[in-house]
Chain A
Amino acid sequence: GPKVLQIPSHQIIDMGQMVTLNCDPVSNHLYFYWYKQILGQQMEFLVNFYNGKVMEKSKLFKDQFSVERPDGSYFTLKIQPTALEDSAVYFCASSNRLGGAETLYFGSGTRLTVL
């Protein structure tokens, strides 16, 4: 089936540094999402993105977070500066339509460890 690729699969950084998580969504998808998962637990919605803009974000999407997809390239999540509590697995997802009966396709995640 359609694949969402996430790069890198694992990133270790020191607290306070900047990190950029990259997502290559399914080619014809227009809606993009980031979710955060701690210790294999609940998937928490962070943000969704469409037509170059953030549509909705949760309270977990702190001011230190930003997303963009310049010129149809990677959909990125940038955290600057990072904090210890940002350690988690971050999943990117994409869809043809904004949720609903349309499927969200998830990547395999980027495990972020903040030391």
Chain B
Amino acid sequence: QQQVRQSPQSLTVWEGGTTVLTCSYEDSTFNYFPWYQQFPGEGPALLISILSVSDKKEDGRFTTFFNKREKKLSLHIIDSQPGDSATYFCAASDANYNVLYFGSGTKLTVEP
């Protein structure tokens, strides 16, 4: 059973546009939700994260939203840039923090 579901699988946006990635999860004990960015040939790197006590966290052009009732989260990238082209993974863990479950990833392409 996949713990974290992510969509879309791939996405192309124009430079300057807004990117929206979404994830959902089943386990109500999850309370930590990071987003990781991965460039080809590299390991994932933390982009932004949110705890379940919050519904929004912003870091520059990146904002993550969390909806506890619907068990959904999203990542918004405003003013998308070609350098944002990468694969984005949402992830989730519970308070024990023993395991970080990853979504299947979204390959984002930002066209100039």
Q: Measuring CB to CB, which residues of chain A are less than 8 angstroms from any residue of chain B?
A: 4, 33, 35, 40-45, 48, 55-56, 58, 91, 93, 97-104, 106-109
Contacts and interface: CB of A to CB of B under 8 A. Distances in A.
Contact of B43 (A41, A58, A108): A108
A42 B49 contact: no
Contact of A42 (B42, B45, B99, B103): B103
B28 interface: no
A93 B100 CA distance: 11
B104 interface: yes
Contact of A98 (B87, B96, B101, B105): B96
A99 B49 contact: no
A6 to B, nearest CB: 8
B98 A106 contact: no
A107 B104 CA distance: 19
19 contacts: A4-B43, A40-B40, A40-B87, A40-B105, A42-B89, A43-B44, A43-B89, A43-B91, A43-B102, A45-B100, A48-B98, A48-B99, A55-B98, A58-B99, A91-B43, A91-B44, A103-B34, A103-B49, A109-B42
Contacts of B36: 106
Question: What DSSP secondary structure best describes chain A's contact surface?
Answer: loop
B100 A108 contact: no
Nearest to A50: B98
B93 interface: yes
Given A99-B98, A101-B49, 13 more contacts: A41-B104, A42-B104, A43-B91, A43-B102, A44-B102, A45-B99, A45-B101, A48-B98, A55-B98, A99-B99, A101-B32, A103-B46, A108-B42
Given A55-B98, A99-B98, A41 B44 contact: no
A107 B38 CA distance: 11
A101 B31 CA distance: 10
B88 to A, nearest CB: 12
Contacts of B34: 103-104
Contacts of A58: 99
